[in-house]
Structure 1
Amino acid sequence: MLWYIGKRLLQSVLTLFIIITIVFSLLRLMPEEGYLGAAAEKMTPEQQEIILTNLGLRDPLLVQLGNFYMDLFKGELGTSVTYRTDVPVTTIISEKIMYSLLFGLGAVVMSLVIGVPLGILMAHMKGRWLDRLGTGYIVFVVAVPAAVYYIFIQMYVTDLFNLPLLFDEYNKMSWILPLTSMALAPTASYAMWMRRYMVDELNKDYIKLARAKGVKERTLMFRHVMRNAFIPMAQYLPATILFTITGSIYIESLYSIPGMGGLLVDAIQRQDNSVVQGLVLIFSSLGIIGLFLGDLAMALVDPRIKLGKGGSTR
């Protein structure tokens, strides 16, 4: 187990290094005028050159990359250039991250509470009205672009239930629509995979044999089918949860939520590379941690999986 954890940690660090390096290099290919902001038109070429030199943009790319990683090891992500001039990126992100965490955790709880039981009921009532209704919901969420039903919810559900159109941290009713919108996709995902794995288990020979021996249906469902169906689900849960916690960029922009998603959009538009790099680092780290925890969760819920040297791994 320790050998496997060490190996995966090394792979995760290498993957994160590659992602950050690629993003850093691509951002340096963007027009330099973005670093100067709206005041660029009023500056002389000499003044622009001085600012770009002070920002280190005249250094070779490898030197810039090395300086970035040296600051990163010190726990520094640099300072904002255009979003909030000379303010540390860590300060900017710390003001935004709590909103993304709150909405992400709320959406996770909502999707798990609704999605997993829905998938169980769909499998139990396969081919009946609830299964067809749930399947229709899953197909709709998967097939229709998210932006379409997000806007539909904001435009029509707001008037229907007299809910606020935009987010207001002092009005708890304004949390309902963003949370619901954010939970739609993971709810469909949990329901779809739970139903699939349970149907697969119900068709296996050991279930048919247990039924032939007279084992009660409730005992089969709860002690065998659900337990075995949840094993492959455990692989995806950590990654899905962490991705949801980071928040939806579109939803945060749509409802004017001051989270990391909206911050990323603003930072890209203003070409604030330091802020973009910090957010990419956080999002990438969460994604990699989720995949790593998914492997560990598989081993914990299924003792047949051995995560070690010489054992069977995924």
Structure 2
Amino acid sequence: MVKYIAKRFAQSILTLFIIITIVFSLLRLMPDEGYLGAAAEKMSPEQQEIYLTNLGLRDPLLVQLKNFYVDLIQGDLGKSITYRTDVPVLDIIQDKMMYSILFGLGAVALSLLVGVPLGILMAQFKGRWLDRLGTGYIVIVVAVPAMVYFLMIQMYISEWFNLPMLFDEYNPRSFILPLICLALGPIASYAMWMRRYMVDELNKDYIKLARAKGVTERTIMFRHVMRNAFIPMAQYLPATILFTITGSIYIESLFSIPGMGGLLVDAIQRQDNNVVQGLVLVFSSLGIIGLILGDLLMAIVDPRIKLGKGDSVR
């Protein structure tokens, strides 16, 4: 287990290095205005060139990349250029991170409380009206563009139930619609995979043998089927949770939530490349951590799975 964790950690560091290097290099191909900000209008071409030279942007790309990683190791992600001029990027992200974490955890709790039981009921009543209703919901969520039903929820549900359309940190009722929108996708995902894995388990020979021995359906469902069906789901739960915690870029912008998703949109629109780099690093790190935790959770849930040489689950 320790050897496997060390191996995955090394692979994760390499993956992060590749992602950040690609993003860093692409951002350096963008116009220089992204590093000058509002000061560009007040500078002459010569002053702009001196300013960019002082920032190190006229150094060779490999030198810039080396300097970036040296600063990164020291915990320095640079300073904001246009979003909040000269404010450290790390401070900006920390201010926004709490909103994304709170909404992400709330959406995860809601999606687990609704999605997993829905998948269980769909498998238990396979082919009946409840299964068809759940399948219809999953198809709609997957097939219809998310922005369509997000806008419908914001416009109509807010009117029918007299809920605020935009986020207000001093009004808890304004949290309801963003949480619902964030949870719709994960609910469909949990329900779909839980149903699939449970149906697969119900068709296996050991279930037929248990029924032949007279074991009750309740015992079969809760002691055997649900437990074994949850094992493959466990691999993807941490990644899904961490992706949800980072927040939806569109939802945070739609409901004016001051989280990391909305920050990324603003940073791109204002060409604040340092903030964009910092957010890419955060999002990539969370995604990779989720994949590793998924493997570990799967091994914990099912002791038969060994995460060692030649036995990796991925």
Does the TM-score normalized on the shorter chain lie above 0.5?
yes
Q: Secondary structure at the match of 1:82?
A: coil
Question: Matched residues in 1 for 2:312 and 2:29: separation?
Answer: 44
8 Å contact kept, 2:242–2:290: yes
Relative distance call for 1:188 and 1:313 in structure 2 (3 A) is closer
Letter of the aligned partner of 2:296 in structure 1? L
User: Where in structure 2 are the equivalents of 1:112-131 lying within 5 Å?
Assistant: 112-131=112-131
> How far 1:33 sits from its partner (Å)?
1.8
Q: Deviations over 1:49-100 (max 9, x none)?
A: 1221122111111111111100111111111111111100111111100000
Q: Tell me the residue number matched to 1:133.
A: 133
Q: Tell me the residue number matched to 1:161.
A: 161
Q: Tell me the residue number matched to 1:220.
A: 220
Q: Tell me the residue number matched to 1:295.
A: 295
Q: Tell me the residue number matched to 2:143.
A: 143
> How far 1:209 sits from its partner (Å)?
1.1
Q: Secondary structure at the match of 2:236?
A: helix
User: Where in structure 2 are the equivalents of 1:203-282 lying within 5 Å?
Assistant: 203-282=203-282
- Over the matched positions of the two proteins, sequence identity in percent amounts to 82
Letter of the aligned partner of 1:53 in structure 2? T
Q: Tell me the residue number matched to 1:51.
A: 51
For these two proteins, the number of residue pairs brought into alignment is 314
Q: Secondary structure at the match of 2:58?
A: coil
> How far 1:304 sits from its partner (Å)?
1.6
Q: Deviations over 1:218-270 (max 9, x none)?
A: 00001100000000000000000000000000000000000000000111111
> How far 1:311 sits from its partner (Å)?
3.8
Question: Matched residues in 1 for 2:124 and 2:224: separation?
Answer: 13
User: Where in structure 2 are the equivalents of 1:23-38 lying within 5 Å?
Assistant: 23-38=23-38
RMSD, matched Cα? 1.0
Matched, 1:93 2:120: no
> How far 1:310 sits from its partner (Å)?
4.6
> How far 1:34 sits from its partner (Å)?
2.3
Question: Matched residues in 2 for 1:297 and 1:158: separation?
Answer: 38
Structure 2's unaligned 5+ residue stretches are none
Q: Tell me the residue number matched to 1:181.
A: 181
Q: Tell me the residue number matched to 1:201.
A: 201
Q: Deviations over 1:175-201 (max 9, x none)?
A: 000000000000100000000000000
> How far 1:41 sits from its partner (Å)?
3.1
8 Å contact kept, 2:166–2:256: yes
Q: Deviations over 1:273-309 (max 9, x none)?
A: 1111110000000000000011111111112211112
